[in-house]
Amino acid sequence: MAYMTDMIRPILLHPDPRLKKPAAPIADLSDALRALADDMLETMYDAPGIGLAAPQIGVLQRLIVMDCVKEEGEAPRPMVMFNPQVVATSDTQSVYEEGCLSIPEQYAEVTRPAEVQVRWIDRDGHQHEQEFSGLWATCVQHEIDHLDGKLFIDYLKPLKRQMITRKMVKLKRERARA
């Protein structure tokens, strides 16, 4: 078997029907899924980004990766989460100017719960449950939304969302021509 190294995968751009469909729960872990997670981490770091959901590379399965460590000196903290689910949210909310690797160069403020409790299965098949706050909380909610076919622009007023979608249609047309 040829030695398989990580692959940088193309990231789907909005509007794309695959970004709006709910992803399927993962029944059994496999080496193929672990390799997919490694490709997603490689693709995320290359973008660069701090999160990526499988639907963004056209795989409609419930898998996300994250590494929200931004301090230069700090060691990276790559996370691979299969079947992640929010099990509790704080009453307090936080506002963050979000972006999305599937909607490049478009940013808007999104309000979300400030802390979330998340349950998931890691690459070794072990179940975890942990509370996230700060940028990690924003990111994990943004990624889990992707698994439900939800984009950060869905939280915006219709006019603002339509303006962003129109810009993306134009960008995709230009890229297709290039």
**What are the residues binding Zn ion (CB under 5 A)?**
100
Choose between 11 and 114: whose C-beta lies nearer to Zn ion.
11
Assess 114 for contact with ligand K2U (CB under 6 A): no
According to the binding rule CB under 6 A, does residue 81 interact with ligand K2U?
no
With CB under 5 to 8 Å by kind, the binding choice for 52 among ligand K2U, Zn ion, none is ligand K2U
Q: How many CA atoms lie within 13 A of 117 on its CB side?
A: 6
| 72 annotated active-site | no
**Contact status, residue 99 vs residue 106, Cβ threshold 8 Å:** yes
For Zn ion, the closer of residues 36 and 52 by Cβ is 52
H or E, element range at 174: helix 158-177
3-state secondary structure 79-93: EEEEEEEEEEECCCE
* Closest residue to bound ligand K2U by CB: 49
The verdict on 142 binding ligand K2U (CB under 6 A) reads yes
Backbone angles phi, psi at 78, to 5 degrees: -65, 130
| Nearest distance from C-beta of residue 152 to ligand K2U, angstroms | 7
CA distance 31 to 37: 10
State yes or no: residue 115 binds ligand K2U (CB under 6 A). no
The residue among 48 and 73 lying less far from Zn ion, judged by its C-beta, is: 48
Q: Under a CB-based contact definition with an 8 Å cutoff, are residues 67 and 78 in contact?
A: yes
Of the listed 42, 74, 143, 174, which one is catalytic?
A: 143
Q: Give SS3 for 47.
A: coil
Would you tell me which residues interact with ligand K2U (CB under 6 A)?
A: 49-53, 96, 98-102, 138-139, 142-143, 146
Residues with catalytic roles: 143
